[in-house]
């Protein structure tokens, strides 16, 4: 009877050993597969883009690249801001106020992902001689979508306004695109 019990004990040991080896093999195979789901190093490097705005004049638009997409940064004059904010935006296709598209205290700076929301073309209107459309913003040459000076869709097939990316001001003339702005401290 002792030999039977020894056999069962050896058999149990072999089963446990084989199971442990199988678990190690599965874990060894799973680690590279799971690791491949992490963002690539080049993507992480583009997660944020720092932009110096000190040389941008009122009325000027610059284009930078963030995550492989163009980002339009326009410095607007007080007159332009007043004109935009005087419009009744409630009836627009994608209703959104100008105040919701800029950061409080930095109203002169408009930051937009420069990709048309229709089929992904890059709208014109950032360079001085490019067509800006009827509302002085951006015009998509692919299918005629027209955006105003707040990046809101006003005409054409685009279903939505130009997207506003996350961005944070590090100073009055330095922004980091891809970083959420810090919220204002709450009053006690």
Extents of the domains making up the chain: 1-38, 43-177
pLDDT score, position 1: 46
| 143 catalytic per annotation | yes
Give the CA distances from residue 180 to residues 22, 47, 92, 165, 177, in Å, rounded to whole numbers and listed in that order: 44, 12, 27, 9, 8
Residue 147 has pLDDT above 80, yes or no: yes
Q: Could you tell me the pLDDT band of residue 127, with boundaries at 50, 70 and 90?
A: confident
Spot the catalytic one: 106, 118, 143, 160. Answer: 143
Residue 109 · residue 73 · CB < 8 Å: yes
Residue 119 · residue 143 · CB < 8 Å: yes
Domain 43-177 has CATH 2.102.10.10: yes
Supply the pTM of this predicted model: 0.72
Our CA dihedral for 22, 23, 28, 32, rounded to 10 degrees, sits at: 120
Residue 7 has pLDDT above 80, yes or no: no
Lowest-pLDDT range of 92-96, 100-104, 116-120, 178-182: 178-182
């Amino acid at each position: 009877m002792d030999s039977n019990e020894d056999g069962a004990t050896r058999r149990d040991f072999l089963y446990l050993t084989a199971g442990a080896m199988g678990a190690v093999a599965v874990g060894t195979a799973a680690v590279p597969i799971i690791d491949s789901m992490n963002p690539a190093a080049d993507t992480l490097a583009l997660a944020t883009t720092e932009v110096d705005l000190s040389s941008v004049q009122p009325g000027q638009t610059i284009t930078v690249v963030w995550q492989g997409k163009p980002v339009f940064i326009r410095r607007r004059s007080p007159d332009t801001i007043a004109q935009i904010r005087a419009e009744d935006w409630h009836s627009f296709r994608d209703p959104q106020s100008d105040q919701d598209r800029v950061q409080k205290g930095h109203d002169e700076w408009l930051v937009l992902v420069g990709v048309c929301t229709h089929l992904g073309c890059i709208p014109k209107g950032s360079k001085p001689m490019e067509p800006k459309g009827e509302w002085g913003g951006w015009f998509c040459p692919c299918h005629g979508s027209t955006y105003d000076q707040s990046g809101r869709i006003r005409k054409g097939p685009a279903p939505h306004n130009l997207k506003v990316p996350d961005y944070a001001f590090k100073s009055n003339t330095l922004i980091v695109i891809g970083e959420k702005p810090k919220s204002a401290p709450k009053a006690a």
